[in-house]
Chain A
Amino acid sequence: SQQGEEDPQALSIQEGENATMNCSYKTSINNLQWYRQNSGRGLVHLILIRSNEREKHSGRLRVTLDTSKKSSSLLITASRAADTASYFCATVAARSGAGSYQLTFGKGTKLSVIP
């Protein structure tokens, strides 16, 4: 079953604007990751935030994590047409009964940046 749920499902913005995507999840996590998928391609890892972190930056990306609300947000600042892609959150949580962890993906947010 899906652990993370992204919101919105689709987002369309003008180039130069900021894009914010949200992710909610259900169980305790070890860390949360964001991936990007360009049309017809595999996923590319963007950023990881651990459960004891609240905010992380990487270039034009800013990720926040609120474990009390079980939610995360991904902010892309000064968007570019090349940012057009689907963005997925993925949670790493304990695998039940197995003593290991599993990465589980949400359904994604489709971002369109209009030049």
Chain B
Amino acid sequence: NAGVTQTPKFQVLKTGQSMTLQCAQDMNHNSMYWYRQDPGMGLRLIYYSASEGTTDKGEVPNGYNVSRLNKREFSLRLESAAPSQTSVYFCASSFILAGDYSDEQYFGPGTRLTVT
């Protein structure tokens, strides 16, 4: 099992460029998440997908879009990158049983994005 994989590992963009961060999990999890981590800010939820076919906004969704392509894959798109989106992006997944919110999340290795 690879767990949660993310591509690319590093990326440098110019302001206004677009890109898509890819995430895949092989644990048959139903829920997937995108976070950003900035120094001194902890992790902040951008978007999540509770199950295949559904997506919802998290704490900081502005400037991002997501696609839950299938049960395994959840992508994050920056349509017009801004320097404020310079961050480390983490994808995570979990298996949520109805009525049980243990929500132990498994994280990918992260994508380090710099927007100049």
- Residues of A at under 8 Å CB distance from B? 1-2, 30-31, 33, 40-45, 48, 88, 92, 98, 100-108
Contacts and interface: CB of A to CB of B under 8 A. Distances in A.
A43 B42 contact: no
B104 A106 contact: no
B45 interface: yes
Nearest to A100: B50
B38 to A, nearest CB: 10
Interface of B: 4, 35, 40-45, 50, 56, 58-59, 90, 92, 101-110
B45 A42 contact: no
Given A31-B101, A43-B90, A2 B106 contact: no
Nearest to A40: B110
B96 to A, nearest CB: 8
Contacts of A92: 101-103
Contact of B45 (A48, A102, A108): A102
A108 B43 CA distance: 9
A61 to B, nearest CB: 15
Given A101-B101, A105-B43, 14 more contacts: A30-B101, A40-B110, A41-B109, A42-B90, A42-B107, A43-B43, A44-B107, A48-B102, A48-B104, A92-B101, A100-B101, A101-B103, A104-B45, A108-B42
